[in-house]
Structure 1
Amino acid sequence: MSTTTHTIWLLAGETSGDELGAKLIKALRHFNPSLKFCGVGGPKMQEQGLELLFPMQDLAVMGLVEVLPKIRMLSNRLNQAVEHIKTVRPDVVVTIDSPGFSLRLLKRIADLSIPRVHYVAPQVWAWHESRVKKFPGLWEKLLCLLPFEKEFFSKHGLQSTFVGHPILETEVHHGNAEQFRKDHQLSDKAPIVLFMPGSRRSELPKLMPVFKQTLSLLKRQLHDVTAVIPTSPLAKERVLHMVNDWPVKPIIIHDPQDKYNAYAAANAALTKSGTTTLELALAKVPMAVTYRVNPVTAMIARRMIKVPYVCMLNLLANDQIVPELLQEDCHPEKLSAMLMGLLTDPEKAKAQQDAFTQIMHQLSGPNDELPSHVAAKEILEMIKG
C-alpha cells in the first residue's frame, strides 16, 4: 500500500462504534502507517490516534421520545461536524453506525465531492424497509457486518460489502474464570450472573431499577449468587451511583480483561439487546434478553418493527434460542424466574451454547480474513481510486 499521507475523518456516536472505530484505525495503520485521523469518537479511538472534534457522549441518545430534549444540541453538533469536514477536506469520511446522526451528516456533505463510507448498515430490514429509498446518494460504499444484509441491499439496487463481524476479533472467549474468582474473592461454586444494562444515558435509568429488584428476588432463591455489572469507563460513575442503594451489592467492572474473565466465570447473563448478545454468545454464556423504553417509543416501535425478534442471535438463527423479555415482560419476577431456569437447568443452558457455535460461523468475513482488515482495504481502495 502507498505511504502517502492521507486524512480520514471518522464519526462514532456510541461505545460499540468507538470499539469498531478503534479496530478500524488500527487496521488502516497496518496498511498505511502515515494516515491521519480526526473526527468524533470515544476513548478507544483516541488511543489509536483520533484527533477529537467533540466527545461522542453528546450523540449517545436512543429513543424517539428521549431524543427530543437533545435536538438543539444535536443540531449544533451536526453543524460543527459539517464545518470541520469543509475545513479539513479529508480524503474520505467514514461514519460508523449511529444512523440518526450519521446519515444526516452524509447528506449534508454530499456536495463536497469527498468519498463517503458508512460502516454498519442501517437496520431498515428490521424497522421500515421503505426507508431504503432515502439511501441512494448518501454514501459511495456501505460496509455490512451481517451476512444477510448484502443480499437485502442488493435487492434494492444498493451496492454493499459484507466484511464480517468485528466481534470475532475480540478476546471475549479467552477469559480466565479462575482469575476472575480469585481477583474478586469468590468461591469456586458461587453462581455468577452478569447484568448488562448498556451504557447509554437513556438506557440505564430504565433498566437499572428493574435489575435491582431482579437481583433481590434471585438472592432469595440462591443465597450465594453473585451479580456482576460490566460497564464502559464512560458509564462507570453513573452505574456506581445507581447501585448505592441496592440491598445486594453487585461487582462493577469496566476493564476489558476483567470483563472477559467475568464472561468465562459467568453461569448466566441478563442483557439488553445489542452487540453484548454476540459477545456473550462467543463466550458461551447462557442468557436472556430484556429491554424497556418510554411507552410511547415502544408503541411506535411495535408498529414499525418488521422482524420477529429483537435479539441478533435469534435473527441469525431464525429461531428464538434466547428468551426475549421486552417492555411489559421486563419485570423483576419474570426476569428472575428466567435466570433461575438457566442456572438450574443444564439442558436449557447447553441448548443455547450449542446454537451459539453455529451462529458464530455465519459472522466470519471473506476468506476468514479479519473483518477490520477487510473494511480497511475497502476504504483504502476508495482513497486510491
Structure 2
Amino acid sequence: MNRADPRLALVAGEASGDLLASLLLGGLRQRWPQLRAQGIGGPKMIAQGFESWWPQDKLAVFGYVDALRHYREIAGIRRELGDRLLQDKPEVLIGVDAPDFNLGLEERLKAAGVPTVHFVSPSIWAWRGGRIEKIRRSADHVLCLFPFEPQIYERAGIAATYVGHPIADHIPLEVPRAAARAQLGLSDNDTVIALLPGSRRSEIRYIAPSLLAAAMLLARQRPELKFVLPVAPGLRALLDPLIAEHAPGLALQLLDGQSHGALAACDLTLIASGTATLEAALFKRPMVIAYRLHALSWQIMKRLAYQPWVGLPNILLRDFAVPELIQNAATPQAIAAAALEWLDDPVRCEQLARRFTELHHLLRQNTAQRATDAIAQVLGR
C-alpha cells in the first residue's frame, strides 16, 4: 500500500461510539483521503466508507449482568477480530470507547507490535480507577474528551492528548430550534418534551417504561404538551409494546433516529444517563436524567463510584445542575415532578443554558483535527 494511504482498524460499540468514530473518520480522511478503515462500526461509520466486519450492535450491552449474559458471544468476536487483525496488521488500532471490549483487544495487538490508540478515556476519575494499569498495557496513546483527563494519564506515565469533544464541534453553538420544529411539524408555540430512553436494547427495557409513564402523567396534567421520541435503529419492535403498556393513547411522535433534531426542537428532555445527556447540554436543554439497570449491576457500580454525579453534564460542571433520578428513585411520579419544575421556571432554564454555553465553548476544540494530529504522531507521519 502507498505510504500516503494508511490502513487503520477501528472498533466502536453502540450508537454513541459510531457517532464519535464517524466524526473522527472525517478528520482522518481530510489528511489521508484514500485511507482504508476496517473493523467494527455502525451506519455513520459505514457511510464514511468504513468496512465493518461484524454488526456494531453485537457490542451494545448495558451493565454487568447484560455483559455476562452475552459474554461468550462477545469474547468470541474479540478473539476472531484479534486473529484477523494479527494476520494482516493495520498501521494502528483505534479503540473507540467500549473499554471492556477494546482494551483487551488493544493489549493483544500492542504486544504484537501494532500501535494502539484509545479514543475516549474510560471514566477512571468516576469509578474503577484501577483500570489505569490495564490502559497502560493496552494503549500507546489516549485521546481525551475532557480537559481534566490528560493530567491523570501524565501522572501515570501514559501519553494522552486533550482533543475536546467531537459532538461539541458537530452541534452548532446557536441551536436551530425553529428549523428543527418545522422539520418535525411542530409550531413555535408548542411545548415539546423529548423522551430519550437510550440506544441499547437493555436500556429500553429498564428505562423506557418509567419515561413513558412519566409522559402519561404529564399529559394528564397538561394536555397541551407534545412528546417526541427518537427511536434508534432496530428498536421499534421493542418499543411498541412498551408504549402500548405504559403510555396508551399518548400523543407521541416517534422519530426514525433524529435525536439531534428532537433535542434542538424540544423545551425539555427526559433522558437516560449517557452520552445523550452531554448532547442535550450542548443543545442547551434542561433535562431530567433517569438511570436504571439490573439491581446487581447497580450495586456493583454504586460501590465503585468515586463521586456523587452520574450524568455527564453534572460531572463536568461539578454540580447537580440537572436532576438525577437513579435506580429506585427513577419513578414516573418523580420524573414528572422534576419535569414540571423546569417547565414552570424559565429563569432557571435560562441560567442553565448560559452554563451549558460556556461548557460548549470549552469542549469545542476541532476534535477531528486534534485527534488526527495525535494519531499521525503515533504513526510517525
- The normalised TM-score by structure 1 is 0.93
Equivalent residue for 1:140? 140
Instruction: Letter of the 1:296 partner, please give it.
Output: L
- The answer on whether the counterparts of 1:192 and 1:268 sit within 8 Å (CA) in structure 2 is yes
Give the Cα–Cα distance (whole angstroms) in 1 for the partners of residues 111 and 264 of structure 2.
49
**Residue 130 of structure 2 aligns with which residue?**
130
Secondary structure in 2 aligned to 1:129?
coil
SS, match of residue 307 in structure 2:
coil
**Residues of 1 paired with 2:13 and 2:45: CA distance?**
11
What is the 5 A alignment of 1:275-290?
Answer: 275-290=275-290
Between 119-128 and 166-175, report the one with greater CA deviation: 166-175
Within-5 A mapping of 1:319-338: 319-338=319-338
State the partner residue of 1:379: 375
Task: Give the CA deviation at 1:375.
Answer: 0.6
**1:61: which partner in 2?**
61
Give the drift of 1:21: 0.9
Residue 90 in structure 1 maps to residue 83 in structure 2: no
Conserved? CA contact 2:229–2:262, under 8 Å: no
1:161 Cα deviation after fit: 0.6
| 1:67 match: secondary structure | helix
Uncovered stretches (5+) of structure 1, i.e. residues with no partner: none
Look up the match of 2:102. Answer: 102
Q: C-alpha separation between the residues in 2 aligned to 1:27 and 1:106?
A: 22
Cα distance change of structure 1 residues 183 and 300 upon mapping to structure 2, 3 Å threshold: same
Secondary structure at 1:361's aligned position in 2? helix
CA distance in 2, matches of 1:186, 1:122: 39
Query: How far apart are the structure 2 equivalents of 1:151 and 1:236?
Result: 42
The amino acid across from 2:29 in the alignment is: R
Cα shift readout 1:221-260 (whole Å, capped 9, x = no counterpart)? 111111111233343443345324432142111354xx44
Query: For the residues of structure 1 that align with 2:375 and 2:118, how far apart are their CA atoms?
Result: 10
Q: Is the 8 A contact 2:173 2:360 kept in 1?
A: no
Deviations 1:110-166 (A, max 9, x none): 332111111001111111223323322211111100101011121222221101111
Give SS of 1:210's match: helix
Q: Are residues 237 and 27 of structure 1, via their aligned partners in 2, closer, same or farther at CA, if it must alter by over 3 Å? A: farther
Residue ranges of structure 2 left out of the alignment (5+ in a row)? none
User: 1:51, CA displacement in angstroms?
Assistant: 1.1
Distance 1:328 1:140 in 2: 40
Verify the 8 A CA contact 2:171 2:282 in the aligned structure 1.
no
Counterpart residue number, 2:115: 115
Aligned residues: 378
Tell me the alpha carbon deviations over residues 180-226 of structure 1, each in whole angstroms, 9 at most, x when there is no partner: 44444444433100111111111000011111210111011111111
How does 1:166-315 map onto structure 2 within 5 Å?
Answer: 166-171=166-171, 176-245=176-245, 246-247=247-248, 248-256=250-258, 259-315=259-315
Q: Which amino acid aligns with 2:233?
A: P
C-alpha deviation, 1:178, in angstroms: 3.4
Residue type of the partner of 2:292? R
Residue 3 of structure 1: how far off its partner (Å): 6.2
RMSD of aligned alpha carbons: 1.9
Instruction: Give the whole-Å Cα distance in 2 for the aligned partners of 1:19 and 1:148.
Output: 23
Partner-residue secondary structure (3-state), 1:64: helix
Q: Structure 1 residues 184 and 44 mapped into 2: Cα distance closer, same or farther (>3 Å)?
A: closer
Deviation, 1:177, is 3.3
Aligned residue for 2:46?
Answer: 46
